[in-house]
Amino acid sequence: MRSPVLLVIAHGSRDPRHAATVHALVERARSVRPGLRVETGFLDFNAPSVPRVLERLAADGVQDVVALPLLLTRAFHAKADIPAVLRKAPPVLRIHQAEVLGPSPLLLSAVERRLYEAGLDPSQKSSTGLVLASAGSTDPEAIAVIADTARELRHTGWCAVRPAFASASLPRTQDAVRELRAEGVRRVAVAPYVIAPGRLPDRIAEGARDADVLADVLGPSPELARLLLERYDEARIEERVAVAG
């Protein structure tokens, strides 16, 4: 019996760096589990679109698909856009939607990896204030998850952690940096809590001009590649339990 195909569903962007980063992340996941068929589909702006990938899978004789939202929180895209697209899939496909990536300890590890790659020494962690800068959302559940993630990072040894948002919510990155400075924090780092480059990550970078360290986006980190496969495996277990019940 063939394993279900993993379909990674990304939002898409007019910025070409976005799709390139998504493809690099998916390729890294393939390299971790070379026997698994992994496909990528985009909701907007980039090709291939999710409907086009689903049609191709059906034409290839695929029956089972795990659809994984490439999202850090459960907001509008995970709750509405993606289910709506999947409902229009060819009827021969049995599709199980996996959970979004966050929250996860692997994401915390990816954040710290990017900070250390940006030049922060691990020995400086306890004396550094951290701004966890996400894209932002109007969904209260998504905002709560970002706040919880900031608290989890604080518990790992940073002297202070503040969430910030590039859109929809407050505070902005620059305001969180200023707040930490006002509290007497001498070294401030900004960690973009986003997967791929684009307009909002660029806004985060602009707001980090007065920070001492600016990390890169999470991108094709090994932790994210492992997390894709972890969510895939969890979805398969949930599906088997549902069938057995």
Tens digit of each residue's pLDDT (9 = 90 or more) over 198-210: 999 999 999 999 9
Q: Are 58 and 122 in contact (CB under 8 A)?
A: no
Place of tokens 């985060």: 204
pLDDT at res. 100: 97
pLDDT < 50: residue spans in the chain: none
- Distance, in Å, from the CA atom of 214 to the CA atom of 177, rounded to the nearest integer, reads 11
- Distance, in Å, from the CA atom of 43 to the CA atom of 142, rounded to the nearest integer, reads 19
pLDDT at res. 245: 64
Closest CA to 193 of 174, 156, 154, 166: 166
Closest CA to 129 of 21, 43, 5, 212: 212
Residues ≥6 apart with Cβ < 8 Å to 241: none
**Among the residues of 155-187, which ranges form H helices?**
173-182
> Could you say which DSSP state residue 216 is in?
P
**121 half-sphere exposure, CB direction, 13 A CA radius:** 3
pLDDT at res. 113: 98
pLDDT at res. 239: 83
- Distance, in Å, from the CA atom of 1 to the CA atom of 3, rounded to the nearest integer, reads 7
